Amino acid sequence: MDVHNRLVSSRQPEPAPGAEPERGFVLAVLPQGADAEHELTELRELARTARVQIVGELVQHRARADQRTYVGKGKLEELKGLFAQFHAESLLVDGELTPTQQRQLEDALSARVVDRTQLILDIFAQHAVSAEGQLQVELAQLEYNLPRMRGLWQHLERLGGGLGTRGPGESQLETDRRLARRRVTLLRRRLTGLSRERGLRRAERKRSDTPTVAFAGYTNVGKSTLLNALTNAEVSVRDQLFETLDPTTRGFEHDGRRYLVTDTVGFIRRLPTQLVEGFTATLEETLSADLLLLVADASAADDELDETLAAVRSVLHEIGADELPTELVLNKIDAADATRRQILRNRFPEAVPVSALSGEGLEELRVRIAARFAERWETVRLLLPYEDGSKLAELYRLGAPIDERSDGEDGVRIRARLPRRELRRFAPYLIAEAREAPVSPGG
C-alpha cells in the first residue's frame, strides 16, 4: 500500500516549561518495497530531540522524488488535506529538499517546511555549547539558507517596475545575500584561527607522548556515558540525539600511565555532506587520535547493529579516518541475555563488551587500550646529577610515570617509563646495565 498515514501518539517530547511542543507532520518519499516504519524511525527520534510532536505521517513510494513538488500532484493534494486535518504547524521531510521543492511545499501548505538537514541543524543549534561549536552551527545554517533566500522577498519583488528595472525586493535580496556571504567569510576566518589553536594543543599532547583515544559511533549508543564511566567525568548524558556536539576530552590512568579520551558527535544514516564538512572540530579530534574506539549498541538487533556500524564506517571513510587503529566496543552489554552475548562473541570475537552503567568490562577496555601503546615506552633507570636539575623538570613535563625516586650523594636516581623516542635525549643519564624490557600492559 502506497499510503502510510496515521495519527501518532507515541514518542511525544516533553514540552518546554510554559510552552506547547510544535505539531509536526512527517512526509517521505521512499523506494518501492521500503519499510516505512523502519525508515522513519530516525526522523522520529530527530523530531523528539527537536521538541516536535509528530501528529501524522504520509509516505509515497516511488523511484525518485518529484523535481518540483517532492511528491506527485495527487499526493500533494492528499498532504494538504491531512495537514489541515491534524492541525499541523510544520512539515518535516525525511530527505534533502531543493530550494524549489521547499518553496512549492511552503506555498501549498502555507506553513514552515523543514527538511532533514535543517532539522539536524536546529538540533545542533540547541546543543552547541562552546564558542567554536556555535560558530560552526551558524556557518552551516548560513550555507544552507543562502540558496533559499529568494522566497523571503517574493512579496516585494512584485513591486518592481517593467522590464529592465530593479524592484525593492530584489535590492533587499541582494543586500541580504551580500551580508550573508560576508558573514560566511568572517566565520571561516574565525574557525581557521580556532583550528590553529586546537592544533597547538594537540602538538603539546604529542610532545608529552600522551596517548589519545577518540570515541566514534552512532548517536545515542552511550558514548558520553562510557566516557563518564571510564574517566570519572560528568559529561551530559540526556537521552537525545546529538547530545554531544562539542568534542569533550577527559583522562584516565592505568598502571601509572595517563590516557586521554575524546567523546565526539554521534553519526546517523545519511548525515549530510555539508554537515560533515562544517563540523571540523570533532572530526579533527577524531583524525588526530592514536586509537579509535568504535562504540556500538550491544542491545540492538543484528540488522540495526550492522546498519549503524556501516553508517559510522561510511562517515569515517569520508573524513579519512578509516585507516586509524580501531577497537570495536559493544556498549550496553548489561541489556543482553546469555544467548545474545554468545551471538555477539561469535560475530565479533575481537570486540570488547562493556556496560557503562554497571561497569562491566571497563577494566578489560583499559587493559586493551594500554596494550595498544605498550611499545611506546621503556622502563629505564636514570642518574641525574644535581647540577643537571633541569633534566628532571623535563622528565616531569614529558608525563613519564616515575616509579621510584631517591636522592643520593651523586644525584637523583630515578626509575621511570620513558617514551622510546626520548631515549637518545636522556642517554647520558641512563644506567645502562639496569635497563629493562618494555612495559607490558599489566605492569
User: Is the confidence at residue 432, as pLDDT, over 70?
Assistant: no
| Residue 16: inside a domain | no
Q: Which residue is listed with cell 556571504?
A: 181
Instruction: Check which CATH number belongs to the domain holding 347 and give it.
Output: 3.40.50.300
Residue 94, pLDDT above cutoff 70: yes
Residue written as grid cell 513510494: 61
397 and 300 assigned to the same domain: no
Last residue of a domain, one of 72, 89, 124: 124
Which candidate, 38, 26, 32, places its Cα nearest to that of 94?
26
Predicted confidence at residue 276, as pLDDT, reads 63
Residue 356 lies in a domain: yes
Mean pLDDT of the chain: 79
Distance between CA 331 and CA 306 in Å, rounded? 15
> Do 263 and 143 sit in the same domain of this protein?
no
Q: Note the pLDDT tens digit of each residue in 216-273.
A: 888 778 888 898 899 886 755 455 555 555 567 888 888 777 888 888 767 767 666 6
Read off the CATH number of the domain in which 408 is found. Answer: 3.30.70.240
Distance CA 219, CA 237 (A): 12
Residue 17 lies in a domain: no
pLDDT band of 146, cuts 50, 70, 90 = confident
The answer to whether residues 219 and 359 belong to one domain is yes
Q: Is the pLDDT of residue 285 over 90?
A: no
User: Can you give the pLDDT at residue 3?
Assistant: 41
The answer to whether 241 and 220 are in contact (CB under 8 A) is: yes
Percentage of the chain with pLDDT > 90?
Answer: 30
Instruction: Please give the full DSSP string across 207-220, using - where no structure is assigned.
Output: HTT--EEEEEEBTT
Residue 245: its pLDDT value, please? 54
- C-alpha to C-alpha distance for 98 and 66, rounded to whole angstroms: 11
CATH number at residue 102: 3.40.50.11060
Average pLDDT over residues 331-360: 95
Number of domains in the chain: 4
Q: Which amino acid is at 317?
A: H
Q: Is residue 362 part of a domain?
A: yes
Residue 6 lies in a domain: no
As a whole-number percent, the residues of the chain with pLDDT over 70 amount to 76
217 & 354 share domain: yes
Residues 151 and 187 in one domain: yes
pLDDT band at residue 30 using 50, 70 and 90 as cut-offs: very high
Q: Are residues 105 and 150 in the same domain?
A: no
Least confident piece of the model among 69-83, 146-160, 201-215: 146-160
For residues 269 and 366, membership in a common domain is answered with yes
Q: Are residues 103 and 134 in the same domain?
A: no
Domain boundary pick from 80, 105, 124: 124
Q: Is residue 8 over pLDDT 70?
A: no
Same domain, yes or no: 171 and 269: no
Q: Are residues 235 and 364 in the same domain?
A: yes
User: For the residues 287-315, what does the mean pLDDT come to?
Assistant: 89
pLDDT at residue 145 above 80?
Answer: yes
Q: Which has more pLDDT, 389 or 291? A: 291
Q: Both 393 and 407 in a single domain?
A: yes
Q: Which residue has the higher pLDDT, 162 or 274?
A: 274
139 lies in some domain: yes
The domain boundary, picked from 327, 348, 372, lies at 372
pLDDT score recorded for residue 346: 96
Does residue 443 lie within any of the structural domains?
Answer: no
Q: Do 229 and 329 reside in the same domain of the chain? A: yes
Better-predicted residue by pLDDT, 432 or 99? 99
Give the residue numbers spanning the domain of 45. 22-124
Query: Does 331 fall in a domain?
Result: yes
